[in-house]
Amino acid sequence: MKPLFVLAFLILILSTAFSFDLLSELSYDIKTIKLGSESLVFLPTFFLDEVIQNKFREEHPFFIASFVNDLDEFDFLLLTLGLSGISAYNDSYMSFSIIESAVLTTFATYALKFIIGRARPNFTNSPFVFKPFNLKNEFNSFPSGHSAIAWALFTPIAEKYNKLIYLIPAIFSISRVLGNYHWTSDVIFGAIIGYTFGKNVYINKSVP
């Protein structure tokens, strides 16, 4: 229920805090989103998932990884509102981009989690265990929500200010593998979703 609450709250913020024609903006952005063939780069990692996970399964993650892995949906909501609020002072379109990217990515990510139903590495030793249309957390591994939303939030900021900012969502992604919450392919595809949505929204909104 938490993801639904967060999504509803973000949509409420979009509909009340901005004076744009929201339906037109959202409709246009959704139509222009395209996952190209390069997004299939994650497929080979399916066959490396078990090898990579076995490397970290018994290791203790770094402090930063523990911090990231302790974040829940409410923390991401606060992060979204914080980044959007800071941006609103000098760029309302950037603020809009951050929230819109988070909304679209949250919807897409949790829809895929439910449809695919992949088992998490801390639940099974095999990366090929699936129970589609499952709401249980143990089968919500693909794609990684932490990874997807982090990339969605920071991509518009990185594109506008400094590409080094991409290190932040990269740390989020790596932390999910180190913490044994996700397979490598989960975080890579999550990153692809978040980056694609964030970059698309940024390009569409960069010129008011």
Q: What is the pLDDT of residue 101?
A: 92
Q: What is the pLDDT of residue 5?
A: 74
Tens-digit pLDDT string for the chain (208 aa): 567 777 777 777 776 767 666 677 777 777 777 776 666 777 788 888 998 888 776 655 677 888 999 999 889 989 998 998 888 777 878 888 899 899 999 999 999 999 999 999 989 989 999 999 988 999 999 999 999 999 999 999 999 999 999 999 999 999 999 999 999 999 999 999 999 999 998 887 655 4
Q: What is the pLDDT of residue 134?
A: 87
- Give the residue from 116, 164, 103, 165 showing the smallest Cα distance to 144: 116
Cβ contact 80:96 at 8 Å: no
Cβ contact 98:87 at 8 Å: yes
pTM of the model: 0.89
CB proximity list for 122: less than 8 A, separation 6 or greater: 180, 181
Q: What is the pLDDT of residue 190?
A: 95
Q: What is the pLDDT of residue 105?
A: 94
Cα 122 to the center of its chain, rounded Å = 20
d(CA 118, CA 131) in angstroms, rounded, equals 6
d(CA 81, CA 42) in angstroms, rounded, equals 30
d(CA 13, CA 52) in angstroms, rounded, equals 40
Domains identified in the chain and CATH numbers: 2-205 (1.20.144)
Q: What is the pLDDT of residue 19?
A: 62
